[in-house]
Amino acid sequence: MARFLLSAMPFTGHVTPLRAIAHALVGRGHDVRFYTGSAFRAAVAASGAVLVPWRSAPDFDENDLRASFPRLEGRKGIRQVFVNLEDVMIGTAPAQVEDLQAEWDREPWDVVVADETSVGVALFAERTGCPWATVAVLPLSLPSRQGAPSGLGLAPGRNPLTRARDAALRAVAPLLMRPLVAPLARARAAVGLPADATPFAAAVYSPERILASGAPLLDFARARPDHLDFVGLLAAPASDPGPLPGWWGDLDGRTVVHGTQGTQNIDPADLIRPALEALAHRNLLIVVSTGVRGRDSLPFPVPGNARVAGFLPYDRLLPRTDVVITNGGWGGTLTALSHGIPLVVAGGDLDKPEVAARVAWTGAGVDLRTGTPTVGQIARAYERVTTDPAVRDSASRVGAQLRSLGGAAGAARLLEAFTLRG
């Protein structure tokens, strides 16, 4: 038996993949603790792990980030990205280290396993020498000498002009990330670490072991380090969703489109409203999740062919779904693709443009290149993914690769091997 401490920033999309791995490790007889926000106490307990809650670190609510991080108020796009990185990821890191050190002093572990936004884990591992593995729960953003820098939502250039564009962007990438240099230096100093020139994009990944959610087909065509393996979709075993919505039987025999804006930036006016309008007069059902449990309605009238719920059991919904219209949350995108479902992606900010670009790269869907598409843009994208057989073929191909990569069980085996190295 090995002792693992898993850590995830307290966001549903980050906790869920790590929780799947926790469940697999517990099932293999290991001792597992899970450091994250107290809102995930029940989810962690269901995995069989023991929660280590954020104490010194601010135990924030992912649905009300502005309450804990007021600089996010009114921010979208690139400004939101940098405030998220500086205040939420880096700013909380010293307090994360304090929590981790207290738990380590109480009872050490053999390996710490964290998502790539848990900056506190990276600092703790460096300070203590604790073996550290990264589970990439977002599109892989390791710096590369190929293609454009990750995060810009740009597919690699295919001709001399766009390849030159990529090279120029790689050259200026350190300048673009300069706003994070001082915050990261302050966080390092706060936990007693010396100054270091490693850029943020590299510092958040373990130099020893990386397990990446997703698949090579979704990572463009580029070289990757030897200590990285893709593990497909990290999904915990399905739990009882409770009573299904009363309208569930309406799905029988119908073309079903699922619309979602994930769990952050969930203003339904951005994507859900134009999607409903674009599909209102078609012979189909559009099933919408609001992203907030218990919020089973929208703040505007919906057409007769729409059905709405806060959360929906994907293991039951997606086998009946023909197309997904999404804001590009990575976990939801991978889940849909694992079922071979074509996508219409409206990636507005954070990692979403990157997700949209990767889906389009594979041919498995349409990148709307905006988080606030028009009714016409959605209607045209829907028409394409439902009439071009190459799109569904590509989605099926990506889905097959995702299913072949081992998932949480495979990740658990790789982490076991990591504890036994050397």
**What would the mean pLDDT of 236-259 be, rounded to a whole number?**
88
User: What residues have CB less than 8 Å from 360, skipping those under 6 apart?
Assistant: 155, 345, 366, 367
How would residue 264 be classed by pLDDT, with cut points 50, 70 and 90? low
Same domain flag for 173 and 108: yes
Same domain flag for 153 and 295: no
Question: Which of 237, 251, 262, 246 is closest to 347 using CA atoms?
Answer: 262
Has residue 241 been placed in a domain?
Answer: no
**What is the arrangement of strands in the sheet containing 111-115, beginning at the earlier edge strand?**
50-53, 31-36, 3-7, 111-115, 132-136, 210-213, 228-232
Helix (H, G, I), strand (E, B) or coil at 392: helix
Has residue 359 been placed in a domain?
Answer: yes
Same domain flag for 269 and 231: no
d(CA 285, CA 45): 36
Has residue 299 been placed in a domain?
Answer: yes
The Cβ of residue 218 has, within 10 Å, a number of other Cβ atoms equal to 24
Same domain flag for 217 and 253: no
**What would the mean pLDDT of 158-178 be, rounded to a whole number?**
90
Same domain flag for 398 and 409: no
Cα angle 406, 411, 417 (rounded to 5 degrees) comes to 120
> What CATH number corresponds to the domain at position 259?
3.40.50.2000
Has residue 243 been placed in a domain?
Answer: no
Has residue 242 been placed in a domain?
Answer: no
Structural contact between residues 198 and 126, judged by C-beta atoms closer than 8 angstroms:
no
pTM of structure:
0.91
Helix (H, G, I), strand (E, B) or coil at 326: strand
Q: What is the DSSP letter of 319?
A: G
Same domain flag for 114 and 35: yes
The percent of residues in the chain predicted with pLDDT above 70, rounded, is 97
Exposure class string for 51-73: b at 16+ Cβ within 10 A, else e = bbbbebbbebebbebeeebebbe
Same domain flag for 264 and 155: no
| Total domains present in the chain | 2
Single-letter residue type at 354: E
Same domain flag for 339 and 381: yes
pLDDT above 60: residue 372: yes
Q: What is the pLDDT of residue 16?
A: 94
Question: Which of 77, 1, 15, 9 is closest to 46 using CA atoms?
Answer: 15
Question: Which of 268, 276, 279, 311 is closest to 292 using CA atoms?
Answer: 311
Q: What is the pLDDT of residue 41?
A: 97
> What stretches of 198-351 show up as alpha helix (H) in DSSP?
200-203, 272-279, 314-317, 330-338
Has residue 276 been placed in a domain?
Answer: yes
Mean pLDDT lowest among 46-50, 102-106, 139-143, 262-266: 262-266
Same domain flag for 392 and 413: no
The percent of residues in the chain predicted with pLDDT above 90, rounded, is 75
Single-letter residue type at 57: A
d(CA 244, CA 316): 10
Task: Give residue 129's domain range.
Answer: 3-236+405-419
Per residue in 275-334, pLDDT (tens digit) is 999 999 999 999 998 877 777 888 899 999 999 998 888 999 999 999 999 999 999 999
**What would the mean pLDDT of 56-65 be, rounded to a whole number?**
92
Position of tokens 């000498």?
145
**What would the mean pLDDT of 152-173 be, rounded to a whole number?**
91
How would residue 262 be classed by pLDDT, with cut points 50, 70 and 90? low
Q: What is the pLDDT of residue 233?
A: 97
SS (H, E, C) 59-119: CCCHHHHHHHCHHHCCCCHHHHHHHHHHHHHHCCHHHHHHHHHHHHHHCCCCEEEEECCCH
d(CA 92, CA 88): 6
Same domain flag for 409 and 380: no
Same domain flag for 395 and 414: no
Q: What is the pLDDT of residue 312?
A: 87
Has residue 345 been placed in a domain?
Answer: yes
Per residue in 376-386, pLDDT (tens digit) is 999 999 999 99
pLDDT above 60: residue 338: yes
Q: What is the pLDDT of residue 378?
A: 98
How would residue 393 be classed by pLDDT, with cut points 50, 70 and 90? very high
Has residue 267 been placed in a domain?
Answer: yes
Per residue in 74-106, pLDDT (tens digit) is 767 677 788 889 999 999 999 999 999 999 999
Same domain flag for 49 and 155: yes
**What would the mean pLDDT of 174-199 be, rounded to a whole number?**
92
